[in-house]
């Protein structure tokens, strides 16, 4: 059980770093499209985490929150806190400052919502295209209990489920920031994610499972994995 939780923690950190990178890259890309090349000149229009990582907010704080309980640090147990390096933006480079500022700000949450959609579609595919896929999707955190081994399909299901939870949290929390927090014009708000794992798994998991119910998935016609034939 301890090793399974450690694997979940590693996957969680990887998804968080990737999601924050996509979020900040989206800010930078939109700013570049609208006329401000500041972030592009700093190499921020990339999914490479190296250009978006904040050592404290992206690595240290999340690592303490995720792996702290394994060494007795339970202060942040059940809570994931993290942020990426803010994307530099010079508003005077925009043609329509107010509109373009809003578009650049909204690009981040929109990218997280897109990741949620992609991850959800992956879960749907696993549920209907693989034998026992529905059980794997219904219990993504029960590693090794659905088929006796921790398979590649279970790994993808776990990554996709974590992607849904983390990116939904990023999406909603950034809208709170959009309305409440306002950094100076040179920087857009820091991407911060703060959510309770138990709450997400108890509230979001039933919602996710509802849409992955066999009666609903039966309406989608996709050939199952064992129905494919390879001929030489």
In tens digits, what is the pLDDT along the chain, a chain of 232 residues?
Answer: 567 788 888 999 999 999 999 999 999 999 999 999 999 999 999 999 999 999 998 999 888 888 887 777 766 566 677 889 999 999 999 999 999 999 999 999 999 999 999 999 999 999 888 888 888 888 777 765 544 445 788 889 999 999 998 998 888 877 665 544 444 333 444 444 444 444 444 445 555 545 454 444 444 443 333 333 333 3
Among candidate residues 11, 18, 13, the one with its CA nearest the CA of residue 155: 11
> What pLDDT, on a 0 to 100 scale, did the predictor assign at position 132?
82
pTM above 0.85, yes or no: no
What sign does the dihedral 216-222-227-228 (CA atoms) show?
A: negative
Residues 41-53 as b/e (b if ≥16 CB within 10 A, e otherwise) read eeebbeeebebbb
Residue whose tokens read 């119910």: 213
> What pLDDT, on a 0 to 100 scale, did the predictor assign at position 199?
47
Asked whether the beta carbons of 28 and 44 are under 8 A apart, the reply is yes
Distance CA 76, CA 92 (A): 40
Spell out the alpha helix ranges (H) of the chain. Answer: 2-33, 38-41, 61-67, 97-129, 133-138, 152-180, 197-211, 214-217
Q: In degrees to the nearest 10, what's the CA dihedral of 68, 69, 72, 75?
A: 70
Distance CA 28, CA 38 (A): 8
Distance CA 68, CA 228 (A): 45
Give the tokens for residue 99.
Answer: 């509109």
Orientation angle between helical segments 197-211 and 97-129, nearest 10 degrees: 70
Question: Is 24 annotated as catalytic?
Answer: yes
Asked whether the beta carbons of 86 and 65 are under 8 A apart, the reply is no
> What pLDDT, on a 0 to 100 scale, did the predictor assign at position 146?
45
Distance CA 167, CA 145 (A): 26
Q: In degrees to the nearest 10, what's the CA dihedral of 77, 62, 19, 205?
A: -10
Determine which one of 24, 101, 202, 232 is catalytic: 24
> What pLDDT, on a 0 to 100 scale, did the predictor assign at position 32?
96
């Amino acid at each position: 059980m301890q090793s399974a939780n450690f694997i979940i923690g590693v996957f969680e950190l990887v998804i968080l770093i990737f999601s924050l990178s996509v979020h900040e890259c989206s800010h930078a890309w939109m700013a570049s499209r609208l006329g401000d090349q500041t972030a592009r000149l700093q190499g921020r229009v990339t999914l490479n985490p190296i250009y978006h990582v904040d050592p404290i907010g992206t690595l240290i704080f999340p690592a303490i929150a995720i792996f702290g309980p394994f060494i007795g640090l339970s202060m942040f147990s059940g809570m994931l806190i993290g942020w990426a390096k803010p994307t530099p933006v010079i508003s005077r480079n925009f043609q329509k400052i107010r509109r373009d500022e809003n578009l650049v700000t909204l690009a981040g949450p929109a990218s997280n919502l897109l990741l949620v959609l992609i991850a959800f579609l992956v879960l749907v595919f696993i549920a209907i295209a693989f034998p026992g896929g529905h059980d794997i999707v219904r219990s993504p955190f029960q590693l090794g209990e659905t088929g006796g081994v921790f398979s590649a399909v279970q790994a993808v299901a776990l990554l996709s489920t974590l992607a849904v939870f983390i990116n939904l949290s990023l999406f909603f929390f950034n809208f709170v920031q959009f309305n409440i927090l306002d950094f100076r014009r040179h920087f857009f708000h820091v991407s911060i994610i703060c959510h309770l794992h138990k709450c997400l798994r108890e509230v979001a998991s039933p919602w996710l499972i509802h849409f992955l119910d066999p009666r609903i998935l039966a309406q989608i016609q996709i050939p199952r994995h064992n129905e494919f034939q390879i001929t030489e």
